[in-house]
Structure 1
Amino acid sequence: MSDLFFGLLEPPGSTDARLNDKPHHNDPVALEYLSTLASMPLSQLDGSEQQSLAQSSHSSLLSLQALCKRSHKSIIASAANHSHLRSALPALAASTNDLASAIPKLDNEAVHFSTTYNKSGDNEILSARKRALLLSKNVERLVDVLDLPTLLSTAVSASSSAPAANYASALDLNGHIRRLHGLYADSPLVTSVSAQADEAMQAMAKNLIVGLRTPGLKLASALRTTSWLRRVIPNLDSADTASTGGGLGALFLVCRLSTLINMLAALEPLRELAEQERTRQQQTPPGSAWSGGQQTERYLKRYIEIFREQSFAIVSMFKSIFPTPTNELSSRTDDCDPLRHVPSALSTFPFHLIEMLLETLRIYLPTVKDQPSRDSLLTQVLYCAGSLGRLGGDFGILLATIDVGEQAEEEWVEVVKRHRLMAGRLESIVGGKDKNSPDLISA
C-alpha cells in the first residue's frame, strides 16, 4: 500500500521507481504528507482534502506564472547559456589539458632563464646591460670628467688677462685630475684625461718660463711665477735642494740671463760701430795719434748701465725668492765632507756675469784713448762692482787684470782713489742722518 501511495506521489517523468527493484522512500515531504494523511479521518480525506489540494495547485500555478512573468529574461538567458555548456565544457577541458601539458615546458624555460641570467653568473649580455645601466646613471659625472681637460686648457690659455686667478684655477683642476688618476689608475678614460692635463700643464710651464724672461719682471711677479712652477714642475724643486733653489733656481737664473743677453743684444748697432772703431784703431800705424773711441764709449756706457741694473736685480731677486737658511750656512762652514749637498746655483752664477763684463771691457776698452772718457767708464765699472758687491759679488779686484795700456797701473790707482773718496763722502753724509732713515746706497 505504501509503495502505491509513493508511486502516486512521484513527480511526473520520474523513473526512480522503475529503475530500482526497491524504491527509496527518503523524500521527507512525501513522508510528512503520508503521515498527515494517516492522521486524517476518512470523511475529511473524501471531502475537504481534494479541495485543499486543488487550492494548493492553483496557488502554485499562480506563483509559477508570476515568477515566469517577473524572471522570464533570466530564465531564457540561463536556458541559452545551458545550451552552450555542451560545447564550452569540452573546449574548457581541452584547454585545461593543453595548459597542464605546457606547464612543465614553461617551468623548464623559467629555470633555464634564471640559470642563464643569474646575477652571480658570468654572462656577456648581462654584463653589457649592467655596464650600459651604470653608464646611463653616471653619464653626467663622465661628462664632467671629460670637460676637465677643456677647462684646464681654457684656464691656461686665458691666463694673459688674469694670470693669478686663471693659473690658480688651472692648478686646482690639475690637482683634482691627479687625485682621480691616483684613485682610478686602471681606467683608460681617466688615463686619457690625465694625459691631456699633462699637455696643458706643459703649455702652462712654457708660459711661466716665458714670464720669467720678461725684461721688466718685478719681485712680486717672480715670486708668484716660481711658486706656480713649484707646483707645475715639482721635480725641479726637490726636497734636498729646495733651500738653495734646486733646479728651479737654476731655471730662474737661466731665464734671467737669457733676458740680460737679449737686452745686451739690442745694443748690436752700437757694438757694430764700436767694432768698426776697433778695426780702424788696429789699422792705425804705431806712434800716430788716435782721436776715435766715441762710439765705443757710448756702447760701453750703455752696456755697463744695463749690466749693472740687471745683474743686481737678478742676484737680489734670487736671494729673495730662494733664501738660504742660517742653519745651512753654519753647517757649510763646519762640514768638510766632499760629498755634501750641491751648492746653490748662485754660487757660480756671478762669476759668469763678471766674466761677460770683463771680456767686453778687454775687447773694447783699449779703443777709448781719451783720459776723461776712460776714467768715466772705469768709475762706472767700479760703481757696478760696488753695487754687485752689496750682494756678495764684488769684482773690483778683478778689474786690475784688464790690459788697457802701458799706464794702466797709475790710471787704476787714480780712479780707485777718487772712487773711494766719493764713497767716503757719501757714507759720511748717510751716517750723519737719523739711524732710522732708509739706507740710500741700498735703496
Structure 2
Amino acid sequence: MSSSIVLQSLRSDLDPIHQSLLENDQNLRNLAEDYLQDLLINDELLSTDHFTTTNSPKKSIIEEIAELDSQKFQINQELSSITDSNKDLIIDVNNDINEIHGNLTNDYVNSIESLLKSLNIDHTHIQHVSNKYEKILSNMDSILDILELPVLCRLFILQGNYQESLEISTFIKSLIIRFPKIKIFKVINSSIEVELNKMFNGLIKLLNTNLKQSNLFKIFQILNKLETNSNNDQFLHSIFLNSRFKLINNEISSLKPILKFNKVTYLKRYLETYREYLYSSLSLYYSIFKNNIKVILVNQFVTSLIHQLCKEMELYFPKIEGDNDDNQNNDGLILQLIYINKSLASFQFEFEPLILLNLCYQNELFTEDDWVRNLSKTKRK
C-alpha cells in the first residue's frame, strides 16, 4: 500500500511515455511497486548510523544501548566498591562539616559578640565600617578609573591632546575641593602635575621651532591655563620672546657655511632673515597678547637682536676700495638695514640712532651720506 502511494507521487515527475506505460501495463506497475517496497524496508537505508567506507560490522541501536547499560553498571559497581572501602572516612568528613557549620552559625557569632563586649567596641560601629567597605567594593570600577587618571593624562599628552590633559587636572582638583580629607586625590594630583610639567617643557621646546601662527595660538592657550612655578604677569611674555630669540639665532646659525664662499652673500641672507623673522615675531606677539603688551620686554628683545646684527656687520661688512661692485654691495646692505628699521618703526620702535651709532659713527663702515642717499631711494619708491 505504501509503495503504491510512493509510486503515485513519483509518477508525476516522469515523462508522458513512461506515465502511460505505468497506467496501461499492470505487470510493470507491479514490478515498480515491489522495487519501492524493497527500498522502504531496507535496514541499511533506514539505519541512523553515519555512513562509512570501512567494512567493519555495524551495530544496531539495541546493541549499543545494551553496551551503554553494561558500562553504566560497571561504573556503578566501581563507585559502590570505592564508597564501601572508604565509608569510615566519608562519615568522619561529614561529621566535621556539620561541626564546622554549627560553629559558624552559632558559636562564631556568640564569640564575636562576647569579644566586642570585652573590648568595649560598639557593634554598630563595626557594622558601619563593614558597610563602608562594601560601598568601596561596589564602586571599585569608578575607583580604578580615578587611579588611572595620571596614565590617561600621559597618553593624552603623547597624542597631542593637551586640552584633554588639562581637563583631567581640573577634574582631580575639583575632587580635592569636594573631599579635602581624602589623601589619595592629592597623591593622584601630584602625579598629574608631574605629567603636566613634562608637557610644559615639551611645549617650550616646540616654541623654538618655526611654527605656524595657528599652532602658536593653540600652544599659548594651553600655557595660559597651566599652573607654573613662575605664575606672574610677565611669564608667558618672557617665554614667547625667549623662544623667538632662539629661533632667530638658530636660523642665523644655519647661514654660517655661506661665509666660506662669500661674505657679502652671507650678510644679505643674514639681513633678510632678520627682517623676516623679527617682523613676524613682533606681529605674532601683538596678535597673541593684544592689549597686554610689555613694552620694556619687547624693547629688550629687539635691542639684543640689533646689537647682534651690528656685531655681525662689523665683522663681515666689505671695505670700500673704490670698486663700483663694492659700492653697490654696500648700498644693498644699507638698504636692507633701512628696511629692517622701517619694519620695526611700524611697531613704534625706532632703532635708526642705534644702528648709525654702531655702524656709521663708531666703526665707520659707511658714512652718514651713504645712509641718507639710500634712505632717499626708499622714499622715492
Could you say which TM-score interval applies, normalised by the shorter chain? 0.5 to 0.7
Pairing 1:220–2:214 present:
yes
CA RMSD in angstroms comes to 3.3
Question: What does residue 5 of structure 1 align with?
Answer: none
Question: What does residue 380 of structure 2 align with?
Answer: 425
The correspondence for 2:175, drawn from 152, 176, 180, is 180
**Does the 8 A contact of 1:205 with 1:233 survive in 2?**
no
Q: Are the structure 2 counterparts of residues 236 and 386 from structure 1 closer, same or farther at C-alpha, using a change threshold of 3 Å?
A: same
The correspondence for 2:288, drawn from 294, 298, 321, is 321
Pairing 1:348–2:349 present:
no
How many Å separate the matches in 1 of 2:354 and 2:108?
105
Q: Give unmatched runs, 5+ long, in structure 2.
A: 1-106
Pairing 1:147–2:143 present:
no
Instruction: Give the structure, 1 or 2, with the largest relative contact order (CA under 8 Å, sep 6 or more).
Output: 1
Alignment of 1:58-137 (within 5 A): 112=114, 115=117, 118-121=122-125, 129-130=130-131, 132-137=133-138
- The 3-state SS of whatever aligns with 2:269 is helix
The correspondence for 1:393, drawn from 327, 349, 354, is 349
Q: Are the structure 2 counterparts of residues 363 and 128 from structure 1 closer, same or farther at C-alpha, using a change threshold of 3 Å?
A: same
Q: Are the structure 2 counterparts of residues 183 and 110 from structure 1 closer, same or farther at C-alpha, using a change threshold of 3 Å?
A: closer
Q: Deviations over 1:143-179 (max 9, x none)?
A: 11012112111110011xxxxxx12211111111222
**Does the 8 A contact of 1:366 with 1:405 survive in 2?**
no
Query: TM-score, length-normalised on structure 1?
Result: 0.54
**Does the 8 A contact of 2:314 with 2:363 survive in 1?**
no
Q: Are the structure 2 counterparts of residues 368 and 312 from structure 1 closer, same or farther at C-alpha, using a change threshold of 3 Å?
A: farther
Question: What does residue 337 of structure 2 align with?
Answer: 381
Pairing 1:265–2:253 present:
yes
1:110 Cα deviation from its structure 2 partner = 8.9
**Greater alpha carbon shift after TM alignment, 363-372 vs 300-309:** 363-372
Alignment of 1:288-303 (within 5 A): 295-303=262-270
Question: What does residue 209 of structure 1 align with?
Answer: 204
The correspondence for 1:231, drawn from 207, 220, 225, is 225
1:202 Cα deviation from its structure 2 partner = 1.1
Q: Are the structure 2 counterparts of residues 135 and 224 from structure 1 closer, same or farther at C-alpha, using a change threshold of 3 Å?
A: same
Percent identity (aligned): 21
1:270 Cα deviation from its structure 2 partner = 2.3
Pairing 1:306–2:290 present:
no
Q: Give unmatched runs, 5+ long, in structure 1.
A: 1-104, 160-165, 274-293, 329-341, 427-443
Q: Are the structure 2 counterparts of residues 233 and 268 from structure 1 closer, same or farther at C-alpha, using a change threshold of 3 Å?
A: farther
How many Å separate the matches in 1 of 2:338 and 2:189?
54
1:396 Cα deviation from its structure 2 partner = 2.0
Pairing 1:189–2:156 present:
no
**Does the 8 A contact of 1:297 with 1:368 survive in 2?**
no
Q: Are the structure 2 counterparts of residues 144 and 371 from structure 1 closer, same or farther at C-alpha, using a change threshold of 3 Å?
A: same
Q: Are the structure 2 counterparts of residues 131 and 406 from structure 1 closer, same or farther at C-alpha, using a change threshold of 3 Å?
A: closer
1:188 Cα deviation from its structure 2 partner = 3.5
Q: Are the structure 2 counterparts of residues 256 and 410 from structure 1 closer, same or farther at C-alpha, using a change threshold of 3 Å?
A: closer
Q: Are the structure 2 counterparts of residues 411 and 147 from structure 1 closer, same or farther at C-alpha, using a change threshold of 3 Å?
A: same
Q: Deviations over 1:325-367 (max 9, x none)?
A: 6xx9xxxxxxxxxxxxx86521322111111111111222155
How many Å separate the matches in 2 of 1:189 and 1:256?
41
Aligned length: 269
How many Å separate the matches in 1 of 2:136 and 2:302?
61
How many Å separate the matches in 2 of 1:106 and 1:213?
72
The correspondence for 2:314, drawn from 350, 362, 373, is 362
Pairing 1:247–2:235 present:
yes
- Report the AA paired with residue 144 of structure 2: V
Question: What does residue 79 of structure 2 align with?
Answer: none
1:405 Cα deviation from its structure 2 partner = 9.7
How many Å separate the matches in 2 of 1:409 and 1:395?
17
Q: Are the structure 2 counterparts of residues 360 and 233 from structure 1 closer, same or farther at C-alpha, using a change threshold of 3 Å?
A: farther
Q: Are the structure 2 counterparts of residues 111 and 191 from structure 1 closer, same or farther at C-alpha, using a change threshold of 3 Å?
A: closer
Question: What does residue 16 of structure 1 align with?
Answer: none
**Does the 8 A contact of 1:365 with 1:404 survive in 2?**
no
Q: Are the structure 2 counterparts of residues 394 and 107 from structure 1 closer, same or farther at C-alpha, using a change threshold of 3 Å?
A: closer
The runs of at least 4 aligned residues of structure 1 exceeding 6 Å deviation read 105-111, 404-407
